[in-house]
Structure 1
Amino acid sequence: MDVALQVLFSGCALGMIYAVIAFGYQLTFATSGTLNFGQGEALAVGALVGLSVVPFTGYWLMLPAVLVFGALYGVCVERISVRPALKVKSEGWIMATIAVGIIIKNVAENIWGKEDMRFPSPVSEAPLKIFGANLLPMEIIVVVGALALMLVIELFNRTSIYGKAVVATAADSDAAGLMGINTSQVVSFSFALSCAAASFAGVLVAPLTLAGAGMGGALGLKAFAVAIIGGLTSGLGAIVGGLVLGVSETVTGYYFSTGYKDVPGLVLLLAVLAVKPAGLFGKTAIRKF
C-alpha cells in the first residue's frame, strides 16, 4: 500500500508537468488553429536559463525571469514560424516550428553543453512521510505550481479585457476581427503564454530530474499526446489526460519494466482516437460549406 501511494504521488507530479505543457498546446490551437511543435525545447531552454539565473537570484526570484524569457521566445516563434504561414493559409507552420525547435536545441547544446546538469531544489530533498509513503516536497510544489499557473491563466481569460479578446478570438476569429480585436496580436499573445507555461514547467521538473538541452523532446511529445487524449479544446482534459498518462507511466515502470512505461499512454491515445477523435473532453467542430 505504501509503495502504491508513492507511485501514485510520483505519477501525479509527472502528470501535472504534462498537463502544463498540454495546456500551452491548447492556448495556441484555440486562437490560431496551430501548434508549436518546438514546445519541448521551450521547456528545456527555460530550465537552462533558470539554471543560469538561479545562483544570482535564488529559485523564487528566478521564476519571473524565466516566465518573461518564455513569453519572448513564444512571440519569436509565432512571428518567424507561424504568422507567415497563416498569411498565405499554408500548413508550413508545422515544419517551421519543428525547425525552430531543432535550431534552439542546437544553440542550447553549444551554450550549455550536451551533458545534463543538476538543478538546485528550492526546498528540502528529504522525503515527507504521508500515509506511510515517501513524498518529495518538490513534487508537492510541482502539482501546486502547475495548477496555480493554469488557474491564473483561466482567471485572466475570464476576467480581463485582453483575456476576453483571447476567448473571443478562440470562439470565432473572423467575428472577433470584425469587432475590432487585433487577432494577430492575440495569436502572438497566446504563443507567449504557451511558451511561458512550458518554460515554467521546465524549472518545476528540473529539480526532480536534471536540466539539459535534450530534456524537453520526450516531455513535449508526451504532452502533445495528453492534449489529444484530453481534447485540444478542454483545460480539464489537459489535467485529466496528464494525470492518466503520468500515473500509467509510473505504475508500468515500477510494477513491470521501465522499458514498457510508454506503452499504456500510447495505447490509450490510439483507443481515444478510435472512439472519440476530439478527445475525452474535446468538442467536435462542425464546418459548414
Structure 2
Amino acid sequence: MYRCKLIISSFFLSLFIFFGCKKNEQDPFFNGATALSISGDAKQGAVGDSLVFSFGVLNSDVTDTLIKLHMRAIGAPVDQDRQFVLSVNSQLSDAQSDEYEIEKNFIIPANSLSAIVPIRIKRSARTESASATLVMDVSVNENFIPGPKLEIVGQPTSGPRFTLRWTSQLTKPAAWDDFPYAALYFCLGEYSTAKHQIIIDATGITTYDDVMAVSDRWYYIYNKCLEWLNTYNQAHPDAPLRDENGDIVEFPIF
C-alpha cells in the first residue's frame, strides 16, 4: 500500500514539474500576451507550414490564383478590431513584387479570433522554369506576438511563419512512359512540357494513373490533343507550336 502511494505521489510530482517546465519554456505565452499564428488551407494543398502550388496543372489561360492564409489568435475575443502585422521575410523570400499581391492592413475583427489573409500569386515568365518563394512572418505589435508552432496530424501546421511556393513547371507523369503501361507515350510520343500542357488545355485532365493504352479515355485524350494542336497550327500557319527544346510539336498519326 505504501509503495502504491509513493508511485502515485511521484506521478503527480512529475506532472507538476513537467507542466511547470513547459510553462517556463513557452513564456511569454503564459504572461497574458495574445499570440497569433498562421496556417495554410488544407483544401488548397497546404502541408505542414507550407504550400506548393503549380500553375502547370491549370489551363494556360489562368495567370493568377488566390491563396488563403488562416490567422488564429490565442486567447479571448475582444469587442474591438485588432490590427496585426504580417511581414515578408526578405531573407527567405525570392518572389518578385510583380509576382504577388497582398493587402497592407490586417485586422482580427471585433468579437473574433480569426481572419483570412488572401494572397494573389501570379504566373510569370520566371516561374516557367523556376519557382517563386514567399515567406510570411507574424511580427510583434501592440496587440499580438508570434504564436507557438502547433502541429496536428492530418492538418496544416499553425505557427509564426508560413512558406508559399509556386511555379508553372510541369513534371512528366509516371504514366507517360513507365513500365508496364506507357499509355501516354503511345498516345502522344516523346514527353515534353508543351505536350503535357496541351493535354490540360484540351481536356482538363491532370491525373493519368487510370489511363490505359488503346482505351476510351486514351482515345479521348489523343483526339482532343490532336484537335487542339491542329487548331493552333492553323491559326499560326507560319509559326507551328514548338516545345521547350525548340522542336515542332507533333503527335503520332493512327
TM-score normalised by the chain length of structure 2: 0.23
Would you tell me which structure has more helix in proportion to its own residues?
1
Higher relative contact order (CA 8 A, sep 6+): 1
Would you tell me which structure has more strand in proportion to its own residues?
2
TM-score normalised by the chain length of structure 1: 0.21
